[in-house]
Copies of this chain bind each other. A is one copy, B any other.
Amino acid sequence: MFYHVKELQYWAKPERPDPVYAKKLQEILGGQFGEISVAIQYLFQGWNTRGNEKYRDMLMDVGTEELAHIEMLTTMIAHLLEGAPVDQQEQAAQDPVLGAILGGMNPQHAIVSGLGAMPVNSVGVPWNGGYTIASGNLLADFRANLNAESQGRLQAVRLYEQTDDRGVKDMLSFLIARDTMHQNQWLAAISELEAQEGVIVPSTFPRELEKREVSHLFINLSRGEESAQGRWASGPSMDGEGEFQYFAEPYPFADAPSLNPAPPYIHDTPPMM
């Protein structure tokens, strides 16, 4: 169960309205790696954790924090939209700066949400539950989380470069720092789990059931051998189970496929003569 307090976790007031930037900021609210994604993802991972209370508690801690980040961003977007001059069409037709603002903002911010934030990304595509990753396997999922915080910090940093507003930059510097912590955190949790179960997910599938002759084989399917220079092309494999090998001139391991004709009730093309 959750409780809400009205104070924001962190806040800085923007210096001025900026509806075009409000549209961009939607990316880290409702995009693939926005705050809605990580909130839903961590909470579902927590709720689906079976045993391992330490990890469940940690997931609920972080998922709950991400709800506060959603709140900070919706508030910032609503502030940036204040004063969007959407009723000044006549002027805009003459004034190209005003025209560029009105053409560059998300029209739904004026028509649909009444100058409020929306659960959509920076091009207006709605947030989608299909972004969520919660598999029940914690090592797999913590890798998803490390990626999410890496992509999320990268996007926040790029947005930081795209504004001169000191208030916005201040708030982003808080979110960027939290992304730093969360990358640190998932790296720590991953190192704990890898130390215990090894690096290959899932660790519980008997390795002898996989086709082991290709478990450490790099296959050179794009002509040119620049890829032979990487750590993945030779030397001991990362799972400590073998040696990397480089398959320079790869061939198929099987024949061409052949399907039987469809039965009549499927009404495919009849066989040609």
Contacts and interface: CB of A to CB of B under 8 A. Distances in A.
A225 B262 CA distance: 24
Contacts of A157: 202, 205, 267
A-B pairs, top 7 by smallest CB distance, nearest first, are A103-B104, A114-B136, A48-B116, A123-B124, A126-B129, A7-B252, A119-B129
Contact of A154 (B11, B100, B202): B202
- Report the contact-size class of chain A (Cβ under 8 Å from the partner): 35 or more
A82 interface: yes
Contact of A201 (B52, B61, B153, B231): B153
Contacts of A199: 183-184, 187
Given A90-B164, A266-B110, A5 B3 contact: yes
A272 B54 contact: yes
A8 B159 CA distance: 33
Nearest to A237: B184
Contact of A1 (B5, B113, B238): B5
Contacts of A27: 107-108, 111-112
Contacts of A211: 10, 173-174, 176-177
A202 B11 contact: no
Contacts of A238: 183-184, 187-188, 191
A48 B128 CA distance: 21
Interface in A199-231: 199-205, 207, 209-227, 229-231
A134 B77 CA distance: 14
A183 B205 CA distance: 15
Contacts of A212: 177
